[in-house]
Structure 1
Amino acid sequence: MKRIIWPLISCVSLGVGGLLGSYHQRRIERPSCDDIVQSRWSIFTHAATAKKQLPTPGPPNRSGEIMKFGFPGYDEVRTHDNYVLSYDCRMRNPKWVFECLTREDVKYNDAITRTNCQFEIDQLVHPFFQSTNEDYRGSGYDRGHMAAAANHRRSDGVMQQTFLLSNVSPQIGEGFNRGIWNELEKYVRTLTKKYAKVYVCTGPLYLPYKEQQRTFVKYEVIGNSVAVPTHFFKIIVGETSTQLFDLRAFIIPNSAIPDETHLERFLVPVDVIERAAGILLFERLPKNALRSVNAPL
C-alpha cells in the first residue's frame, strides 16, 4: 500500500509545485499597471522628441557632376528689340513668338518698308538646326512671318529682325499667307487703335488626323528637315487703359482658304491651343480683369 501512496503523493506534489511555479513566473513576467503607464509615457515622449528633430540631410545634389559635359538642350528663347521667340530645333520652326504692340509700333512710315529687308539665317541657332533660304527654294511654300514685319515699323533694324528665318514657318502662299493669314495680321494692327497695348502670341501646330480609325500626326518636311506645320495659332489680348482685357484665340489650317471666309470661323478656346502646342499661355493674366473671350469681331 505504501508503495502505491508515496508515488501518488510525489506526483501530486510535483504537479502542484509546477503549477505554482508557473503562476509565480507569470506574475513576475506580467507588467504591472505602473509599468504599462511608464512604458506608454516613454513612447509618447520619444515620439514628441522625434518630431522636433531635424531630418537627416540627404546626399549633396549631383546635377553638376552628372551634367559635367553639358545638357542636351535648353528651351531656345531669343529676345529681340520688339519680340521674343522660342525656337524648335527639331522642327526648324519657331515654337511661339510673343509681341506687345502699340499704335506707334504699327504706324505707317513710308521710309520703313519690307522692300529694304532680306530674309537671313539666325546665326544664334546652331548650324545643325538652322533654317535657310535654300530650304524654301523650289518648295512651293512662302516664308511666313510669325511676328509680322508690318507690326514693327519703329526702325529699319527692328523690321529687319522679323526677317530672321527663326521667325519664319513654311506657309501656303495663295489663300493663306497672302490671304486669310494676312487678314488676321491686319486685324491685329487695327486693334492698336482700340487698346493701349495688344499682346500677341503666334506659332505653328502639328495636329493629328483620323485615317482608318487610327490617329496620325503627318506633316511634310522641306530642305534640311524644315517641318511644314499643319495649322497655325494666334492669340490676341487687348489691354484697355483701365487694365481690362479682351482675348481672342484662333487656329487656322495651313491651306488655301476661300477669300470670303470670315475670321470668326476660326475662333477656338485657349486651352485647345495650349494642349495642342504643349504650352501654357497668358497664365498671369488676371482673370477678374478678363472682360471677354472670343467676342464677335
Structure 2
Amino acid sequence: MSKFTLAIVAGASAAVGAATTAALYGFSRPKRPEESHTITTTSTTISTPGATRTSAPPPAPMVILRDDPSVPAIPPVDPSGVFQYGFPGPVSDLRSACSLTSAFDRARRNPHWVAEHITPASLLIRNGDRRHSYFAEDINIPEKFRAKLTDYARSGYDRGHQVPAADAKWSQEAMDSTFALSNMCPQVGEGFNRDYWAHFEDFCRRLTSFYPSVRVVTGPLYLPKREADGKWRVSYEVIGHPPNVAVPTHFYKVIFAEDGKMGGNVSLGAFVLPNAVIANDKPLQDFEVPVEAVERASGLEFAGLLPPARRKRLCQEINCSVIVKEYAERQRTMMTPPPQKGGAPPSTSLTQRQ
C-alpha cells in the first residue's frame, strides 16, 4: 500500500469506540411583574455510576423552565436513567505491567495499543528466559470479553506479541507480562510474525545504539479496501470459539526516539505494515507514514502534546532499514547487544545519517 493510498484509507476509516452522551438544553427568561402564577419544580434523584477509567460521570438532567405553566417543569423523559443498570461503555481496560502499558478493545478482543520503553541498559540485562514464560489469558479482563487460548488453537494464526518478549529480558516478571493474551493479536506466522515483523522489532531495539531512550506504541488496524464495485469496505476475519477475536488487516508502530535531554528533541516515526507475508527485501521506508495517518485510522492520538519545534523525522536522522536473520538463528540469538559508548557501530544497516 502506497503512502498516498494509506493516507486516503486512514482518512476514510472511522474512529471506533467513541462514547456519546445526550444533554438536554432549556431556556428561561425573567418573569414579568404582572405574572402571578407560580411554577413548582420537583427534584428527582437518579443513581448513576461514578467516573470510570474512560469516561466522566454522566451529567444530571437539566430542569427546563417554560412560560406556559401547563408544561411540566422537568422533561417527560430521562434517557440517562439507563445508567442505574450500568454504564454501557465503551470501556478500555487499562493494564499497567512492569514491561508495558496497554488499553484493551473488548469488542475485538485485541489491544487498542500497547506502549513500551527500551533503553541500552534494559537490553543488556538478561534475567528473563522465555522458556519459563507461558501464554495466558488476562484474568483482569471480564471473561466474556477476553481472548482465550482456545481461540487461537488451530486458527492458522500466531499469537503475535505487540510488545516482544525480547524487549523484556531484564527480569522474568517483565518477560512473563508480555505473554498475556491482552498483549497479543492474531498475526500471519511465516513470512510476517516470524520474519519481517521480527526484523522490524529488531530495528526498534537497535535504535538504542543511537538514542538513550526509545518508546514504542504498537497496535492493530482494521483498514478498508476498495472492492470491485468501487466502494470502500472494512473486512476482516474473526477467529475463536465462538468466533470473536478479530484478525487485524494491518499493524502500526509509532516510535519516539528521545535524545535524553530535558525538553530535548524527539525523532518521530510511524509505520503501518499489512498483516500478510512481506518479502525480506522490502524496504522498511515503504511502510513509513505520517503519524497523523495512524491517528486518523485508529482513532487514537500519539503526539498531541509534542510541540512541532521538538519533532524530528526519524528516517531523516537514521537510515530506516531492517536486517534479515533466519528464524532459527534469531531464536538462538534474539538480538546482538548494542555497542558500548565509543565503540564501533553494530553490524547492521541501521546507521546514522551524516
TM-score of the two chains, using structure 2 as the length reference: 0.64
**How far off its partner does 1:293 sit?**
4.7
Report the counterpart of residue 150 of structure 1 in structure 2: 166
Query: Would you say 1:99 and 2:141 are equivalent positions?
Result: no
Report the counterpart of residue 262 of structure 1 in structure 2: 283
Report the counterpart of residue 219 of structure 1 in structure 2: 236
- Output the CA distance in 2 between the equivalents of 1:169 and 1:210: 24
- Tell whether the 8 Å contact from 2:128 to 2:168 is kept in structure 1 after alignment: no
Distance 1:217 1:65, change over 3 A: closer
**How far off its partner does 1:100 sit?**
1.8
- Tell whether the 8 Å contact from 2:92 to 2:106 is kept in structure 1 after alignment: no
- Tell whether the 8 Å contact from 1:197 to 1:240 is kept in structure 2 after alignment: yes
- Output the CA distance in 2 between the equivalents of 1:167 and 1:231: 16
TM-score of the two chains, using structure 1 as the length reference: 0.76
Q: Deviations over 1:150-169 (max 9, x none)?
A: 11112101110000000000
Q: Which amino acid aligns with 2:172?
A: D
Query: Would you say 1:161 and 2:177 are equivalent positions?
Result: yes
1:23-42 → structure 2 map (5 Å cutoff): none
Q: Which amino acid aligns with 1:188?
A: C
Q: Which amino acid aligns with 2:253?
A: K
- Output the CA distance in 1 between the equivalents of 2:188 and 2:125: 27
Tell me which of 223, 233, 247 is aligned to 1:207.
223
1:280-291 → structure 2 map (5 Å cutoff): 280-291=301-312
Aligned residue for 1:283, secondary structure, equals coil
- Tell whether the 8 Å contact from 1:249 to 1:294 is kept in structure 2 after alignment: no
**How far off its partner does 1:108 sit?**
5.3
- How many residue pairs get aligned? The number is 239
- Output the CA distance in 2 between the equivalents of 1:177 and 1:258: 12
For structure 2, the 5+ residue unaligned runs are 1-42, 45-58, 62-79, 321-354
- Tell whether the 8 Å contact from 1:145 to 1:169 is kept in structure 2 after alignment: yes
Report the counterpart of residue 106 of structure 2 in structure 1: 89
- Output the CA distance in 1 between the equivalents of 2:97 and 2:225: 35
Report the counterpart of residue 327 of structure 2 in structure 1: none
- Output the CA distance in 1 between the equivalents of 2:135 and 2:299: 28
For structure 1, the 5+ residue unaligned runs are 1-58
- Output the CA distance in 1 between the equivalents of 2:125 and 2:196: 21
Aligned residue for 1:67, secondary structure, equals helix
Aligned residue for 2:196, secondary structure, equals helix
- Tell whether the 8 Å contact from 2:112 to 2:220 is kept in structure 1 after alignment: yes
Query: Would you say 1:79 and 2:100 are equivalent positions?
Result: no
Query: Would you say 1:277 and 2:298 are equivalent positions?
Result: yes
Q: Which amino acid aligns with 2:248?
A: P
Report the counterpart of residue 41 of structure 1 in structure 2: none
Q: Deviations over 1:26-79 (max 9, x none)?
A: xxxxxxxxxxxxxxxxxxxxxxxxxxxxxxxxx994279652332113222111
Shifted more, 187-196 versus 86-95: the winner is 187-196
**How far off its partner does 1:241 sit?**
2.5
**How far off its partner does 1:193 sit?**
2.4
- Output the CA distance in 2 between the equivalents of 1:248 and 1:291: 9
Aligned residue for 1:134, secondary structure, equals helix
Shifted more, 193-202 versus 168-177: the winner is 193-202
Q: Deviations over 1:239-272 (max 9, x none)?
A: 0033211111100000011111121111111111
Query: Would you say 1:229 and 2:248 are equivalent positions?
Result: yes
Aligned residue for 1:200, secondary structure, equals strand
Q: Deviations over 1:122-143 (max 9, x none)?
A: 0011111111111111111000
Report the counterpart of residue 196 of structure 2 in structure 1: 180
Aligned residue for 1:275, secondary structure, equals helix
- Tell whether the 8 Å contact from 2:192 to 2:277 is kept in structure 1 after alignment: yes
- Output the CA distance in 2 between the equivalents of 1:207 and 1:125: 26
- Output the CA distance in 1 between the equivalents of 2:312 and 2:288: 17
Report the counterpart of residue 24 of structure 1 in structure 2: none
Aligned residue for 1:128, secondary structure, equals coil
RCO higher in structure (CA 8 A, sep ≥6): 2
Deviating beyond 6 angstroms after TM superposition, the runs of 4 or more aligned structure 1 residues are: none
Aligned residue for 1:166, secondary structure, equals helix
The CA RMSD measured in Å over matched residues stands at 1.9
Report the counterpart of residue 115 of structure 1 in structure 2: 131
Aligned residue for 2:116, secondary structure, equals strand
Rg larger in 1 or in 2? 1
Aligned residue for 1:265, secondary structure, equals helix
Aligned residue for 1:86, secondary structure, equals strand
